Structure 1
Amino acid sequence: MQNGATIVGGNRRGNATNQLYDPNDLYVDDDQTIYIVDFVNHRIVEYKCGATTGRVVTGEYGSGNRSNQLNTPTDMIIDKEKDSIINCNYNNKRVVRWPRQNGTNGEIIISNVGYHGLTMDVDGFFYVADCDKHEVRQYRMRERQETVVAGENGEGNRLDQLHAPRYVFVDRDHSVYVSDGYNHPVMMWMEGEKQGIVVASG
């Protein structure tokens, strides 16, 4: 059995650029650049491959609700088509797009929602896990359409319900995989289905 190696952080918790405080999610780009959602520090930090010190790419102005601030970010993706970072900003109840290069202000693209997890499918549609409403929604931004693709029946533990969903993944067949927070399994909802299937349970 091999031992793991620390590639980011490892300098105790803190807010220096070589420290993290409750990292909540990460994204690895094609060039092995790592983006860390640094939850308690209210920022996203970029680490180039092999670097021991990161660069704050969003949230460098502390916690808050201004367009240049984050408040408890939970998840993020890279939109390569628009060269931007999109993140869930939980306490501000919004999803925000930030330019990846020299972007100090974010653009709110979805608001007034309790989103925790975020992903994008091969067609460029967004999927967000709303842990307040216990459902996953698909957003087609160009058509300004939103559709509930998992949940929609309130909080609960039935196969047609979720309870505080956290993270979401969508495969090439548009099946939605959800980590169902307080129910503890991972659920799969096939496209168009009204209830999910347990694919992993604790």
Structure 2
Amino acid sequence: MCSLQLFPNATCNKIDACRTDLNLSCAIDCYGSTTAQPNVTTAVGSCNGLCNQVLSRNLTTLHYQGGIFAHNNGTLYVADGTPTNTVFVFEPNQQIGRPLMTFADWPTYIYVDNTTSNIYVTILNLNFLKIWPSNATIPPSGITASCTLNKLNGPTNFVFDSLGNIYISSYSCHWVTKWAPNATTGTHIAGSTTGTAGSTNQLLNLPYGLVLDESYSALYVSDRNNHRIQKFTLGNSIAITVAGGYGAGSASNQLNRPTTIIMSQIDAALYICDSYNNRIQKWAMGASFGITIAGSANGMAGNTLNLFNTPYDIWIDSDETYLLISDTYNCRVQRYALR
């Protein structure tokens, strides 16, 4: 897709908009296209799944992005990967982003408080969680990695409780810790107490996504390298497996390196970003298998509108009418209508 060509000396904000001598033939705009599947559109990024490691001067290109979050007003926040390492903001129905904040390494997960508009970002390789615009960090003591309770080591996903405590997965410590507001140290919640990976019902191996169900004092953890979702009752170190747990695979009762999980507010089912299976699974409470609601049921990667290549994050609106998917290795964010 190319933009309307401007007159010489005109001001432009796109790299291909200031030439009148190119006689370009523009392709059809594929944003909003529903050719491949009626309920799928590309929200932002590459419509054809092509990634570009060159810095995008027109702010329409994504670079192996990670986390995504949509504000109540429709604004989309995207944690873009290398080489930009920037959180971009896309206004509703716009494909041109604006940079909000840039880091020395890849911003991983992002959350925007719809009440305060505070923005929370984990930077996995820098070992901290950043709070914007205050620029506060968790831990407040700096970015040195350690499997001690006053540090983070490879923080990934995080969730909040009603008291403002933040639960954070530490990818490299194989545990989840809880941080009270303004705390200088965390409290161990789940997984190893020594930073050791494992596959027993007390241990985790590269924890990622989190869901906190305060009504039942339950914490759900995406146990990535054990290919399962674990449910811990708060205060109890023993978990039960509620999804997966049969090794890596693409059968309906299996997962392959799951990342983000979201709990339905309608029926308490889990939406699971089944990353290496290139699909999104919906797993009903108590079910022994999941149902593929987006992507390939057999785990196939692809770059057509209805396929993914290693999706990283998902977001769902409060009414569960649509799902956003960070289709990382296709460098785009896809929107799936659920009903």
Q: Which band: TM-score by shorter chain?
A: 0.7 to 0.9
In structure 1, distance between residues paired with 2:211 and 2:220: 5
Report what 1:152 is aligned to: 245
- Report the TM-score, using the length of structure 1 for normalisation: 0.85
Cα distance change on mapping 1:133 and 1:171 into 2, 3 Å: same
Cα distance change on mapping 1:167 and 1:6 into 2, 3 Å: same
Please list every run of 5 or more consecutive structure 2 residues that lacks an aligned counterpart in the other structure. 1-92, 193-203, 296-307, 309-339
For residue 109 of structure 2, what is the amino acid of its counterpart? D
- Pairs aligned (count): 187
Identity %: 25
| CA positional deviation for 1:6 | 2.1
Which of the pair has the greater relative contact order for Cα pairs under 8 Å at 6+ separation? 2
Report what 1:194 is aligned to: 288
**1:90-127 CA-partner distances (Å, limit 9, x unpaired):** 111100011122x1111111123121111223624211
Partner SS, residue 36 of structure 1:
strand
In structure 2, distance between residues paired with 1:119 and 1:35: 16
In structure 2, distance between residues paired with 1:171 and 1:60: 36
Moved more, 133-142 or 160-169: 133-142
Cα distance change on mapping 1:59 and 1:196 into 2, 3 Å: farther
Q: Is the 8 A contact 1:37 1:45 kept in 2?
A: yes
In structure 1, distance between residues paired with 2:273 and 2:130: 24
Report what 2:98 is aligned to: 5
Report what 2:106 is aligned to: 22
Report what 2:187 is aligned to: 107
Report what 2:126 is aligned to: 41
* Correspondence for 2:261 among 143, 149, 168: 168
Please list every run of 5 or more consecutive structure 1 residues that lacks an aligned counterpart in the other structure. 15-20
Q: Is the 8 A contact 1:133 1:164 kept in 2?
A: yes
| CA positional deviation for 1:79 | 1.5
Report what 2:225 is aligned to: 132
- Report the TM-score, using the length of structure 2 for normalisation: 0.52
* Pair member with larger Rg: 2
The CA RMSD over aligned residues, in Å, is 1.8
Which runs of 4 or more aligned residues in structure 1 lie more than 4 Å from their structure 2 counterparts after TM superposition?
142-145
For residue 119 of structure 2, what is the amino acid of its counterpart? I
Q: Is the 8 A contact 1:128 1:138 kept in 2?
A: yes
Q: Is the 8 A contact 1:121 1:171 kept in 2?
A: no
In structure 2, distance between residues paired with 1:78 and 1:46: 13
Report what 1:119 is aligned to: 211
| CA positional deviation for 1:176 | 0.6
In structure 2, distance between residues paired with 1:72 and 1:59: 15
Higher strand share: 1
